[in-house]
A and B are shown apart, each in its own frame.
Chain A
Amino acid sequence: MKVLRKYREEVAGIAFLLPNIVGFLVFIMVPLLASFALAFSNWNVQLHNMFQTEPLQFVGFENFRRLIEQPRFWQYFGNTLFLMIGIPFSIGGSLLAALLLNRDFGEKNRRVRGRLLAAAVMGGACLVLAATGFNLGAIWVLLAVMASGILLTGVAGGSVVYRTLFYTPHFTAGVATFILWKKMYNPHSGPVNTALQPLLDGLAGIVNAVPGWLGDLGYAVLGVLALLVVRWRLRAIASNLLDRDIGLLAAIISSALLFLPVALAALWLPYHGLGPLILLAMVALGAREGWRLKRGLRGLAIDPAYRLGENLMFSLGLMTLAFILVGLGRVLYHLPAMASDGLNPPDWLIDYHWAKPSIMIMALWAAIGSNNMILYLAGLKNIPGELYEAASIDGASGLQRFWHITWPQLAPFTFFIFVMSVINGLQGGFEMARTMTQGGPAGATTTLSYFIYIEGFETGRLGFASAVAWALFGLVFMMTLFNVKFGNRYVND
């Protein structure tokens, strides 16, 4: 009894914690360890369950060998990576939303009056159009009314209303939003295509009216633009390297990433033989530049991975941008031929080539107003106002203030958000695939997490499914290590 009295407080504390500890052990820790062990076993529900007597066998790395040999695994891994291309955009969108929401709404009368006027004009225009029987798509009317409503409620509630509205997608139930998006993507009756069709009709008219060589020109212009983006970034990397502001390894990896869109653009060129020539020229230029840098780097002693995280992230973002410019260029090149019979909006989820972009667009919508935005908002609040004041006194423009104060100050947040987004991207896609596409068409939207489900619960190979899950964990773990190794350093820098 004495002992009990002595440890009374401890016993009470443990009793309070016990439900949580037991829950964690039973529902998380034990299944986690069990799934790790099962990844090395031949557990198959057909053979090993309470009704079967066949002994469970440990098969070593057999499941992992099969995994690597499975073409489906690589296809679904590719799908998962493809869907992650949208991450830089979602980060950009979250930052933009946070910058907008960080502004003080509703205090200055001029702004209030402006928003009231905008809402009145939009609402009035809708009424006039409806009254005069103008054949405007109902969706445009709906959008205008919604915009008016948002502006008006913003006047009443200020930034709190806007912040709540932006955050809404995050606390709306996933399945409900997926079903909603599925309806929105309906090729014929969905509001997305209803809104797009008049725009595409107009675009087709314009494209058919202008000479065809403009498409070629557009391709060339966007291609050159992509090259300029790459060149700008390469120059910045080279300059940073000489200034000892980046490690050699970080510079090489960040530069190599930028070559991918250029190589793709070259291979896509419609003029035979030109692509390899351009590639060859790029390699030659790269080698010459490398040689020049090597001479400049003599005597430098710097960690090769110095600022790898930051530069890698930035290069990935620019690589995506360059990819999009090249892709848009190709669209411009083919546009005259496509527009000759009129342009139709995509079939979204049921078209093999559009299914993944459809999901990316939806994920972008969900990600902009997510926790990322909240993190950025918190980050923005932490930036000392004196920095902006000093910059204003020095005559810095808004863009300069953003580029030299806001962006560097938010860098730790950006890095954290990027890493978390990549981890979520690797783990994600299950609910979307299950609800919207069943992984189709032709496996185009099957991600690794949905693959685990198929293997585990459709074919009953739980050992193999565990191996896929642990392979996925390996990828996520590598990302976390990357964060620990480079994220912290970058934050401290």
Chain B
Amino acid sequence: MKRIFLTLLMVLSLAAVLTWWIQPARQTDVPILYWVTTNSPIRDDQVAAFENWLEANAYERIELRIDASNNDPSKKLIQGISGVAADLFDNYADQAYLMQSTGILSDLTEPALAHGFGPETTYPSVRSNFMIEGRQWGYPPSVSVAVYLVNVAAFEEAGMEVPPRQWDIATFEEWGRRYVAARTVPGERQRHFFAGSQLDRVELSRSTGLDTYNETLTACVLDDPRYVKVLETVYRWMYEDHIIPSQQEESTFAVEGSGLGISMALFARGNYAMLYLGRFALVRLRSYGDQEYAASFPPYFEYPNLRVAGGNIGLYAKSSKKEEAYRFFEYLASDTHNRMIVATGDALPVNPAFLETEGFLRPPEHPNEWGVHEVYAEGMKAYSISRSRSPFVLPEVAKRIEVNNYHSFLAGRISAAEAAGQMAERINLEIERTLEERPSLVGEYERLVALQEKIDALKAAGKPIPADWIINPFHRRYYRDMGLLDEGSEGP
């Protein structure tokens, strides 16, 4: 028995040494960069393009390996704080804020200047996705805004024209009701909707002049009649006018797949006449054939706007391949990569100059998409505004609270006013909790609250507000467009 035991121990020890010995990194002299991202053919193309770019520029060879199995946010966080994360990892939407606050991201400010991938190489509205507290913590592989893609054939079948590029809420609803009436057979289950269920409640809210947070990001202000109006409007679209499907209606379509895949399939086959998505959708829609598409901006109450989406790639603070990673970021800012984004249709190029290129606006292989790309370009240039994130509450926490109350409202458990009230109350409680947990933030918070009081006084008096007082990117842009911003004033 003892011998068996010892033999097993030796075999296992030997296996451990062997496993370590045959690690991929030990099999090659070329440095390997691990990139945690989604698994898609475009990523493989990007890897190949990066390696070609290195060769073309006579740089040292670097092997870039995709790791799609660790892309879950919790995995990235746990691996990061445990010291075993990949060199590079995607941070979607607001994840960069959590990652940066834990300290697992490398500060790229200086390397970005040296390697030419600083914030000035991309759109102003995108910078807050990777600039936190004035420092750079990542770089986007692409950027995105969402607009309504239009299935032209669906409108033709309804005997209607292609919708206008810009519309207010009333026009949108009027078009929607007409479309649904034209395509619904009385007595039968509704199979055609004006648009898919995707929409951005923050954009709708911003179109009333209201953002999730106040000007100094110190409080959630969704307990406002304007947000109640937004919730009631969405409810009306779903349950009264039936111009967009409720979750229940959406699930009645017998389409295999999940999430966006289902919506895109339904859009391609005409069940949804429009779909609110970023340009990346075009790549996936190409597999459904060369259908003719158009595009419209989302409807607005008073102030047209788009919210910048997309994420960025961060560099792990403990990565041993930092120089190689800087090279990869340099590639992301290069013309080669931007041209590739233009050609593949994977969202929008990082460099704004590429929005003007013929290749972007009118891709030669896809004439059916001409006209669509320029709406994305116009949206990005003219209407895009950064996301607003309070430094006193984690974006993921605020989002969960908003979504839970929104679903409670849709389920009929609470009224729109109660939902809006609870969203604000609970997000503000989270802010209080953060301050209790992190006393180091209290000083800054109190300074901003005092500033907010001054802003509120100016607003009440109808006077312009000094630009430097406003931290929320939405309010800064909104007040500027409304002529309510005092650009010349000294800050606090």
Q: Report whether chain A binds chain B.
A: yes
Residue positions of A touching B, CB distance < 8 A: 12, 15-16, 42, 44-47, 49-52, 54, 66, 71, 186-189, 347, 350-353, 440-443, 453-454, 457-461
**Partner among B73, B103, B405, B411 whose Cβ is within 8 Å of the Cβ of A52:** B103
Given contacts A457-B74, A459-B394, contact A350 B251 (CB under 8 A): yes
B75-116 contact mask (Cβ, 8 Å, vs A): 1 or 0: 001100111000000000000001001111000000000000
Chain A residues near B26: list those with CB within 8 A. Answer: none
**B269 on the interface (CB 8 Å rule)?**
no
Chain B residues near A71: list those with CB within 8 A. Answer: 426
- Pair B411/A352 contact, Cβ less than 8 Å: yes
Q: How far is the CA of A351 from the CA of B102 in the complex (A)?
A: 37
Q: How far is the CA of A17 from the CA of B411 in the complex (A)?
A: 56
Q: How far is the CA of A187 from the CA of B189 in the complex (A)?
A: 14
B417-445 contacts to A, CB under 8 A, are: 426, 433, 437-438, 440
- Pair B81/A50 contact, Cβ less than 8 Å: yes
**B396 on the interface (CB 8 Å rule)?**
yes
**Nearest neighbor of B2 in chain A, beta-carbon distance:** A12
Q: How far is the CA of A47 from the CA of B101 in the complex (A)?
A: 8
Q: How far is the CA of A98 from the CA of B403 in the complex (A)?
A: 44
- Pair B251/A442 contact, Cβ less than 8 Å: no
- Pair B408/A442 contact, Cβ less than 8 Å: yes
- Pair B247/A350 contact, Cβ less than 8 Å: yes
- Pair A460/B407 contact, Cβ less than 8 Å: no
Q: How far is the CA of A44 from the CA of B440 in the complex (A)?
A: 14
**B253 on the interface (CB 8 Å rule)?**
yes
Given contacts A46-B101, A187-B251, contact A459 B5 (CB under 8 A): no
**Partner among A12, A45, A347 whose Cβ is within 8 Å of the Cβ of B251:** A347
- Pair B411/A353 contact, Cβ less than 8 Å: yes
Given contacts A51-B317, A458-B396, A459-B396, contact A347 B248 (CB under 8 A): yes
Q: How far is the CA of A440 from the CA of B102 in the complex (A)?
A: 28
Interface size in chain B (residues, C-beta < 8 A): 38
**B397 on the interface (CB 8 Å rule)?**
yes
Given contacts A353-B411, A440-B407, contact A49 B102 (CB under 8 A): yes
**Partner among A12, A47, A351, A442 whose Cβ is within 8 Å of the Cβ of B404:** A442
**Partner among B102, B407, B411 whose Cβ is within 8 Å of the Cβ of A46:** B102
Q: How far is the CA of A16 from the CA of B6 in the complex (A)?
A: 10
B443-484 contact mask (Cβ, 8 Å, vs A): 1 or 0: 000000000000000000000000000000000000000000
**Partner among A12, A442, A458, A460 whose Cβ is within 8 Å of the Cβ of B411:** A442
B31-82 contacts to A, CB under 8 A, are: 73-74, 77-78, 81-82
- Pair A352/B413 contact, Cβ less than 8 Å: yes
Ordered by A's residue number, 29 sampled pairs between the chains whose C-beta atoms are within 8 Å are A12-B2, A16-B5, A44-B437, A45-B81, A46-B101, A49-B104, A50-B81, A50-B82, A50-B83, A51-B104, A51-B317, A186-B251, A188-B254, A347-B247, A347-B248, A350-B251, A351-B248, A351-B411, A352-B408, A441-B407, A442-B404, A454-B400, A458-B397, A458-B400, A459-B394, A459-B396, A460-B77, A460-B98, A461-B437
- Pair B407/A51 contact, Cβ less than 8 Å: no
- Pair B247/A46 contact, Cβ less than 8 Å: no
Chain B residues near A442: list those with CB within 8 A. Answer: 404-405, 407-408, 411, 413
- Pair A51/B81 contact, Cβ less than 8 Å: yes
Shortest beta-carbon contacts, A-B, top 3: A51-B103, A352-B411, A442-B407
How far is the CB of A202 from the nearest CB of chain B, in Å?
Answer: 19
- Pair A188/B81 contact, Cβ less than 8 Å: no
Q: How far is the CA of A347 from the CA of B411 in the complex (A)?
A: 12
How far is the CB of B244 from the nearest CB of chain A, in Å?
Answer: 16
**Nearest neighbor of A454 in chain B, beta-carbon distance:** B400
How far is the CB of A301 from the nearest CB of chain B, in Å?
Answer: 52
Q: How far is the CA of A50 from the CA of B316 in the complex (A)?
A: 13
Chain A residues near B253: list those with CB within 8 A. Answer: 188
Residue positions of B touching A, CB distance < 8 A: 1-2, 5, 73-74, 77-78, 81-83, 98, 101-104, 247-248, 251-254, 317, 394, 396-397, 400, 403-405, 407-408, 411, 413, 426, 433, 437-438, 440
**Nearest neighbor of A462 in chain B, beta-carbon distance:** B81
Given contacts A50-B83, A442-B404, contact A457 B78 (CB under 8 A): yes
Q: How far is the CA of A66 from the CA of B252 in the complex (A)?
A: 41
- Pair B5/A52 contact, Cβ less than 8 Å: no
Q: How far is the CA of A44 from the CA of B74 in the complex (A)?
A: 14
Apart from the given pairs A188-B251, A459-B396, 5 other A-B contacts in the complex at a CB distance below 8 Å = A49-B81, A441-B247, A442-B404, A442-B408, A457-B77
Chain A residues near B403: list those with CB within 8 A. Answer: 440
How far is the CB of A459 from the nearest CB of chain B, in Å?
Answer: 5
Q: How far is the CA of A328 from the CA of B280 in the complex (A)?
A: 49
Chain B residues near A441: list those with CB within 8 A. Answer: 247, 407, 411
Q: How far is the CA of A195 from the CA of B248 in the complex (A)?
A: 18
- Pair A45/B102 contact, Cβ less than 8 Å: yes
Q: How far is the CA of A350 from the CA of B262 in the complex (A)?
A: 16
Chain A residues near B411: list those with CB within 8 A. Answer: 351-353, 441-442
**Nearest neighbor of B430 in chain A, beta-carbon distance:** A459
Q: How far is the CA of A16 from the CA of B438 in the complex (A)?
A: 48
**Partner among B5, B102, B437 whose Cβ is within 8 Å of the Cβ of A51:** B102
Q: How far is the CA of A467 from the CA of B251 in the complex (A)?
A: 38
**Nearest neighbor of A351 in chain B, beta-carbon distance:** B248
**Nearest neighbor of B425 in chain A, beta-carbon distance:** A71
Chain A residues near B82: list those with CB within 8 A. Answer: 50
- Pair B102/A460 contact, Cβ less than 8 Å: yes
Q: How far is the CA of A91 from the CA of B78 in the complex (A)?
A: 39
Given contacts A15-B5, A16-B5, contact A350 B248 (CB under 8 A): yes
**Nearest neighbor of A53 in chain B, beta-carbon distance:** B103
Chain B residues near A52: list those with CB within 8 A. Answer: 102-103
**Nearest neighbor of A75 in chain B, beta-carbon distance:** B404
Chain A residues near B248: list those with CB within 8 A. Answer: 187, 347, 350-351
Chain A residues near B83: list those with CB within 8 A. Answer: 50
Q: How far is the CA of A66 from the CA of B434 in the complex (A)?
A: 12
How far is the CB of B336 from the nearest CB of chain A, in Å?
Answer: 33
How far is the CB of A489 from the nearest CB of chain B, in Å?
Answer: 43
Chain B residues near A440: list those with CB within 8 A. Answer: 403-404, 407
**Partner among A12, A187, A188, A352 whose Cβ is within 8 Å of the Cβ of B407:** A352
Q: How far is the CA of A162 from the CA of B281 in the complex (A)?
A: 50
Chain A residues near B413: list those with CB within 8 A. Answer: 352, 442
Chain A residues near B405: list those with CB within 8 A. Answer: 442
Chain B residues near A187: list those with CB within 8 A. Answer: 248, 251-252
Q: How far is the CA of A271 from the CA of B254 in the complex (A)?
A: 43
Q: How far is the CA of A479 from the CA of B437 in the complex (A)?
A: 33
How far is the CB of A38 from the nearest CB of chain B, in Å?
Answer: 14
Q: How far is the CA of A247 from the CA of B77 in the complex (A)?
A: 54
